């Protein structure tokens, strides 16, 4: 039996106007909305967890499918787009 798909959402907060962070760009709201939307869809097999920094702060909010691809520039306003990426993960390459 394979482990459940686990989506890690960076909730790291860096302070200072010149130091972007995922939490500063709404990742905590995204985390809550993802959990709620997955429950609405009956996708109980997906685990969503908070994560420390991935090191891609300037591209946040960021998430990563455990063992797989990163997703960058995510929006708390569109959790369905993040959920869709679970079925067809984006490239593991860093964004431009």
pTM of the model: 0.84
| All structural domains of the chain with their residue ranges | 11-67
Handedness of CA 57, 13, 7, 31 (dihedral sign): negative
Tens of pLDDT, residue by residue over 33-49, are 999 999 999 999 999 99
Tens of pLDDT, residue by residue over 7-29, are 999 999 988 777 889 999 999 99
9 to each of 1, 38, 84, how far by Cα in Å?
A: 24, 14, 15
**Position 88 confidence tier, pLDDT thresholds 50, 70, 90:** low
Q: Are 47 and 58 a contacting pair, CB within 8 Å?
A: no
């Amino acid at each position: 039996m394979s482990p459940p798909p686990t989506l890690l959402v960076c909730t790291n907060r860096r302070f200072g106007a010149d130091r972007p962070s995922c939490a500063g760009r709404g990742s905590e709201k995204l985390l809550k909305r993802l959990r709620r939307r997955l429950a609405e869809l009956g996708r109980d097999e997906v685990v969503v967890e908070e994560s420390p920094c991935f090191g891609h702060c300037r591209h946040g909010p960021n998430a990563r499918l455990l063992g797989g691809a990163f997703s960058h520039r995510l929006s708390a306003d569109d959790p369905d787009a993040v959920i869709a990426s679970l079925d067809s993960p984006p490239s593991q390459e860093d964004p431009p």
